[in-house]
Amino acid sequence: MTHRSHFNGLKTAALLGGMWALLLGIGALVAGGTGRGYWIWVFAAVGLAQTFYSYWNSTTIALRAMNAYPVTEEQRPDLYRIVRELSERADQPMPSIWIAPTPTPNAFATGRNPRNAAVCCTEGILQILGERELRGVLGHELMHVYNRDILTSSVAAAMAGVITSVAQFLMFFGGGRRSEEGGGVGLLGTLALALLAPIASTLIQFSLSRTREFDADEDGAELTQDPLALASALRKLERATDHVPLAPTPANQNVAALMIANPFRGAGLRALFSTHPPMDQRIARLERMAGY
């Protein structure tokens, strides 16, 4: 089994750089329009503050959003056995284990570092996967923590939120001033930026999430040494999630990017805004890792 590099580290750096460039570009526009250069630094500081908060509290936020509850080794010896074996193989600390009370089959991991990590399975996924498939899923989730993807997703989510807030600021406060000083072109430019910037930041955020999913698939398959088990689990998850999708709420929509499969039903244009790559592409990569 050979690990195949898709230059995802470079893609991640480029996508995060794009989000920062977009944010600072908006700040520069606001600074130029208001004549106050400090706005660009204000927006950068707000972005850093939101990033730190969401990253530091990522475990609590995600588990609370899914109403998850912790389980002991006596309650779920199968989960503890799998996670302990994989953690020891990776030479990493044992995370806490949680279960989310929903029939939608899924799983996610969260935590600012391996010592503060948590792995959560839904009740639905425990009902449809065998132990070998579940091991593949848990290997995938642990690699999100080991690859520091929680930090990456926290930065991306915070940047997207700040860009949206700044765009709303431009919409409500920037248009009038620019129209008085620069005429209709200034107003139209401001409105266009206010409308398009959040869309651009969302597409970058979701592209980043899809890139990290490919990495976790490959690295998780390396950890378990069983890429076909994860491929089989992904097939089952795609079919089952389509029949029992998660009802979207403001809280769980932020957790969706952490999950191994898109928990919401969506097709067509909505697929463009999916946090996960197409399942057939993920399965094909895993099968190539196994020599198929």
Q: Is residue 2 very low, low, confident or very high in pLDDT (cuts 50, 70, 90)?
A: very low
For residues 81-110, average pLDDT: 96
DSSP label of 258: G
Q: How far is CA 178 from CA 35, 91, 136, 165, 198, in A?
A: 11, 57, 55, 19, 20
Q: In percent, how much of the chain has pLDDT > 90?
A: 40
Q: Residue 96: what are its φ and ψ, rounded to 5°?
A: -75, 155
| Whole-structure pTM value | 0.79
Domain definitions of the chain by residue range: 8-289
Query: Which tokens is 199 given?
Result: 């869309």
For residues 245-261, average pLDDT: 84
Q: Pick the catalytic residue: 133, 141, 213, 218?
A: 141
At residue 42, the pLDDT reads 75
Q: Is residue 182 very low, low, confident or very high in pLDDT (cuts 50, 70, 90)?
A: very low
Q: What is the signed CA dihedral for 265, 271, 277, 282, rounded to 10 degrees?
A: 60
At residue 174, the pLDDT reads 56
Model pLDDT for residues 11-54, shown as the tens digit of each residue = 667 767 777 777 777 777 666 666 666 766 776 777 678 777 77
The set of residues, in sequence order, having a beta carbon less than 8 Å from that of 118 and lying 6+ positions away, is 59, 62, 63, 95, 96, 97, 98, 109, 110, 111
At residue 150, the pLDDT reads 78
Cα separation of 127 and 244, whole Å? 13
Mean pLDDT of the chain: 81
At residue 266, the pLDDT reads 58
Residue 73 has pLDDT above 70, yes or no: yes
For residues 236-244, average pLDDT: 90
pLDDT greater at residue 213 or residue 151: 213
Taking each helix axis as running N to C, give the angle between helix 227-243 and helix 131-146, from 0 to 180 degrees, rounded to the nearest 10.
Answer: 100
Q: Which residues pair with 108 in a beta bridge?
A: 120, 259
Cα separation of 272 and 43, whole Å? 28
Q: Is residue 61 very low, low, confident or very high in pLDDT (cuts 50, 70, 90)?
A: confident
SS3 260: coil
Query: Which tokens is 74 given?
Result: 């006596």
At residue 170, the pLDDT reads 67
pLDDT greater at residue 250 or residue 143: 143
For residues 121-130, average pLDDT: 97
Q: Residue 138: what are its φ and ψ, rounded to 5°?
A: -65, -35
For residues 192-219, average pLDDT: 76
The length of the chain, given as a count of residues: 292
- Decide: 30 and 169 in contact? Cβ < 8 Å: yes
Cα separation of 1 and 17, whole Å? 33
Picking from 78, 98, 82, 100, the residue whose alpha carbon sits closest to that of residue 90 is 82
Answer yes or no: 131 catalytic. Answer: no
| Alpha helix stretches (DSSP H) within the chain | 8-34, 39-56, 58-65, 77-89, 123-128, 131-146, 149-169, 175-182, 184-224, 227-243, 250-255, 269-272, 279-289
